Amino acid sequence: MDASIFAIQPTSAEPIYRQIVEQLRRLIAGGQLSPGELLPSVREVAGFHAVNPMTVSRAYGIAESEGLLERLRGKGMAIAAGAGRASTPAQRLALLEPQLADVARQARELELPAESVLRRLGKLMGER
Amino acid sequence: MNAVLQASAESMEAPLQVRGLAHQYGGQPVLAGVDLTLQPGSVLGLIGRNGAGKSTLIRAMLGLLQPQAGECRVFGEAALQLSDRAKVRLAYVPQQPEALAWLTSQQMLDYVGRFYPQWDAAFARTMLRDWDILPNKLLGKLSPGERQRVDLIRALASQPELLVLDEPAAALDPVARRDLLREIALRAGEAGTTVLFSTHIVSDLERVASEIAFLHEGKLLLHCGVDESKERFARLWLPAAMSAAAPGRTLGRRRHADGSLSLVIERDASGQWPEAVNLPGARLDALGLEDLFVEIAG
Same domain, yes or no: B199 and B104: yes
**How far is the CA of B60 from the CAs of B37, B77, B112, B161, in angstroms?**
14, 14, 23, 19
| Distance from C-alpha of B36 to C-alpha of B18, rounded to nearest angstrom | 5
pLDDT-based confidence at residue A63 (cuts at 50, 70, 90): very high
Nearest-by-Cβ selection for A46 from B178, B189, B202: B189
pTM for the model: 0.82
* Whether A65 contacts chain B with CB within 8 A: no
What does the pLDDT read at residue A84?
A: 65
Statement: residue B20 has pLDDT above 90:
yes
Position A36 in a domain: yes
Position A91 in a domain: no
Domain interval for residue B284 = 232-297
pLDDT-based confidence at residue A46 (cuts at 50, 70, 90): very high
The chain A residue lying nearest B205, using CA atoms, is A10
Position A106 in a domain: yes
- CB contacts, 8 Å: B291 with chain A: 13
pLDDT-based confidence at residue B9 (cuts at 50, 70, 90): very low
Same domain, yes or no: B18 and B150: yes
Domain of B151: which CATH number? 3.40.50.300
* Whether A13 contacts chain B with CB within 8 A: yes
Query: Which one has a higher pLDDT value, B1 or B91?
Result: B91
State whether residue B194 is helix, strand or coil. strand
Same domain, yes or no: B112 and B166: yes
With beta carbons less than 8 A apart as the criterion, state whether B130 and B182 touch: no
With beta carbons less than 8 A apart as the criterion, state whether B84 and B237 touch: no
- Mark which of B195, B227, B259 sits at the end of a domain: B227
Same domain, yes or no: A109 and A72: no
| Distance from C-alpha of B135 to C-alpha of A52, rounded to nearest angstrom | 31
Statement: residue B1 has pLDDT above 50:
no
Domain interval for residue A8 = 3-79
Same domain, yes or no: A12 and A75: yes
pLDDT-based confidence at residue A89 (cuts at 50, 70, 90): confident
Same domain, yes or no: A33 and A60: yes
Query: Which one has a higher pLDDT value, A81 or B121?
Result: B121
Same domain, yes or no: B161 and B48: yes
Q: How many domains does chain B have?
A: 2
Same domain, yes or no: B160 and B182: yes
DSSP letter string over A75-111? TEEEE-TTTTTT--HHHHHHTTHHHHHHHHHHHHHTT
Smallest Cα distance from B54 to chain A, Å: 22
- CB contacts, 8 Å: A10 with chain B: 203, 206-207
Please write the tens of the pLDDT for every residue from B230-284. 888 999 998 888 888 888 777 888 888 988 888 898 888 888 888 888 888 888 8
Position A38 in a domain: yes
| Distance from C-alpha of B269 to C-alpha of B276, rounded to nearest angstrom | 17
Please write the tens of the pLDDT for every residue from B165-198. 999 887 788 888 888 899 899 988 888 899 999 9
Position A12 in a domain: yes
**How far is the CA of B36 from the CAs of A46, A124, B17, B33, B292, in angstroms?**
27, 50, 6, 10, 21
Same domain, yes or no: A74 and A106: no
B107 φ, ψ (degrees, to nearest 5): -60, -45
Query: What percentage of chain A carries pLDDT values higher than 90?
Result: 38
Position A51 in a domain: yes
Same domain, yes or no: A72 and A113: no
Helix H or strand E encompassing B54: helix B54-61
What does the pLDDT read at residue B12?
A: 63
Q: Pick from A41-55, A91-105, B191-205, B284-298 the range whose average pLDDT is largest.
A: A41-55
Same domain, yes or no: B127 and B242: no
What does the pLDDT read at residue A127?
A: 63
Domain of A66: which CATH number? 1.10.10.10
Length of chain A: 128
Exposed, middle or buried: residue A88 (CB in 10 Å: 0-12, 13-18, 19+)? exposed
Give residues with Cβ within 8 angstroms of A12, minimum separation 6: A19, B288
Same domain, yes or no: B90 and B221: yes
Position A37 in a domain: yes
Same domain, yes or no: B248 and B157: no
Same domain, yes or no: B221 and B84: yes
* Whether A7 contacts chain B with CB within 8 A: no
Q: How many domains does chain A have?
A: 2
The rounded mean pLDDT for chain B is: 88
